[in-house]
Amino acid sequence: MRQWLAVVAVAVSAFAFVTAEFLPVGLLSQIAHDLGVKPGIAGLMVTTPGVMAAIFAPALIAGAGRMDRRFVFLLLTAVLLVSNVLCAIATSFPVLLAGRALLGAALGGFWTLATAAAPRLVEPRDAAKATATILTGVTFATVIGVPLGTFIASFASWRASFAATAGLVALALVAQAFLVPSLPSASALRVGDFKTLLRRPQTRWSLLMVALVFGAHFSTYTYIAPLLEQDFSIRAITLLLFGFGLVGFFSNALMSMAVANHLKKSVAAMILLLLVAISSMLLLDHSIIGEAAGMLLWGVAFGALPLCFSVWIQRGTADLPEAGSAMFVSIIQVAIAVGSAIGGSIVDHAGVRADFTLGCGLAVLGLITLQRLVTLERPAAKSAFVSECEPSAD
């Protein structure tokens, strides 16, 4: 029981981190007006944490050496607390941006530890379920956390939203302090560990697959509102996005039961479903039922994909789990930043449909990359089988 309480404590922290990361999305106009900056400049509050997380995911964990990972968890959550307090009291945009930079630095290290530590908190047979539980914090942040922050700002102020998030982080910090056990590191993470993993073709192709699929999602989902606004009211779009997160929550929970024994099929099915969902938003354009169904299919796909990819990377880097986790977190943050930036440029210059066409192409490339990974594994499996069948020299 205590093992799962520790997992829940980390999940609460995941909820707090993701809520804090995307909180400014619904507050950009208020913040830009109050601090005297243009909305485009205010958008740096979202971009900065992603860039910082990509840099600090490997750097911070390498710098932690052999420090007990429980203490690192507590330290990173404390930095998140400082970040939100700083944002809540900021009187100028540079100070606010400094707070967001602190969030990014802590975010990269947290996700590296969370995905690597999940299997250590429970019995080996429950590793996938523990990872799924922690990732549930992401879904809850999407469904509840970010909208709640926007709601608080609607009757109080954007500062109150950051202050409320700081209170949530304080709760997560207390939960970690009491529930997360000691997680000693057997050896310090070295730069050479990253080089070792990157020499493996499976690792390189796996990271490319993750980058392509996350790029397909964030290059399109970031700009879903302009597409839906053609046929839906703001209230209807809000309900669709809520449904997206809700079905994603159940998808993540159900996939945790299947991914351990059917990893390749699960990854293939969810990438294919993502492709179908994005394609349907193009092919069924102006069909209210079609677009609503496409959004729900999209929620199912993306609700499960982070879990599928996390388990995939865990298995492929089992000998160097923290290095693998750090690279996994970095490539996701790069995909978020680059995908959103390229998608935005395409939307501005060629329209939303062109952007969604790009998303479909990236998803197809993700499937092709998965097929390449499967073919890479076949010779290795065949070699292992031949070695077992050869007579012993003794």
Q: Using CA atoms, how far apart are residues 23 and 353, in angstroms rounded to an integer? A: 27
What's the average model confidence in pLDDT over 39-51?
74
Neighbours of 71 (CB within 10 A): 14
- One-character DSSP codes across 198-215: HTSHHHHHHHHHHHHHHH
User: Cα-atom radius of gyration of the chain, to the nearest Å?
Assistant: 21
In sequence order, the 6+-apart residues with CB closer than 8 A to the CB of 82 are 99, 102
Half-sphere exposure of 274 (CA within 13 A, CB side): 34
Is residue 331 classed exposed, middle or buried when 0-12, 13-18 and 19+ CB atoms within 10 A define those classes? buried
Q: Of 73-77, 268-272, 350-354, where does the model show the most confidence?
A: 268-272
Identify the CATH assignment for 190-379 out of 1.10.1740.10, 1.10.10.10, 1.20.1250.20, 3.40.50.300. Answer: 1.20.1250.20
Instruction: Quote the pLDDT of residue 45.
Output: 81
pLDDT at 352 > cutoff 50: yes
Domain extents for the chain? 1-182, 190-379
Q: Are 53 and 333 in contact (CB under 8 A)?
A: yes
Q: Which residue has the higher pLDDT, 327 or 148?
A: 327
Confidence of residue 234 (pLDDT cuts 50, 70, 90): low
Cα 371 versus chain centre, distance: 23
Q: How many residues does the chain have?
A: 394
| Pick from 72-76, 157-161, 230-234, 303-307: least confident | 230-234
Q: Using CA atoms, how far apart are residues 134 and 16, in angstroms rounded to an integer? A: 12
- Pick from 228, 258, 259: nearest CA to 243: 228
- Pick from 208, 220, 198: nearest CA to 331: 208
pLDDT at 225 > cutoff 80: no
pLDDT at 142 > cutoff 60: yes
Q: Using CA atoms, how far apart are residues 258 and 253, in angstroms rounded to an integer? A: 10
Q: Are 352 and 220 in contact (CB under 8 A)?
A: no
What's the average model confidence in pLDDT over 2-13?
86
| Pick from 63-77, 218-232, 270-284, 375-389: least confident | 375-389
Q: Report the Cα–Cα distance between both ends of the chain, in Å, rounded.
A: 48
Q: What is the mean pLDDT of the chain?
A: 83
What's the average model confidence in pLDDT over 301-320?
88
Confidence of residue 257 (pLDDT cuts 50, 70, 90): confident
Confidence of residue 385 (pLDDT cuts 50, 70, 90): very low
What's the average model confidence in pLDDT over 164-180?
91
Q: Are 219 and 359 in contact (CB under 8 A)?
A: yes
Half-sphere exposure of 268 (CA within 13 A, CB side): 10
Give the residue ranges of DSSP H helices in the chain.
Answer: 2-22, 28-35, 39-42, 44-64, 69-89, 93-121, 127-140, 146-155, 158-179, 191-198, 201-221, 224-228, 234-258, 263-283, 288-316, 321-350, 352-389
Percent of the chain at pLDDT above 90? 29
Identify the CATH assignment for 1-182 out of 1.20.140.10, 1.20.1250.20, 2.30.30.100, 3.40.630.10. Answer: 1.20.1250.20
pLDDT at 149 > cutoff 80: no
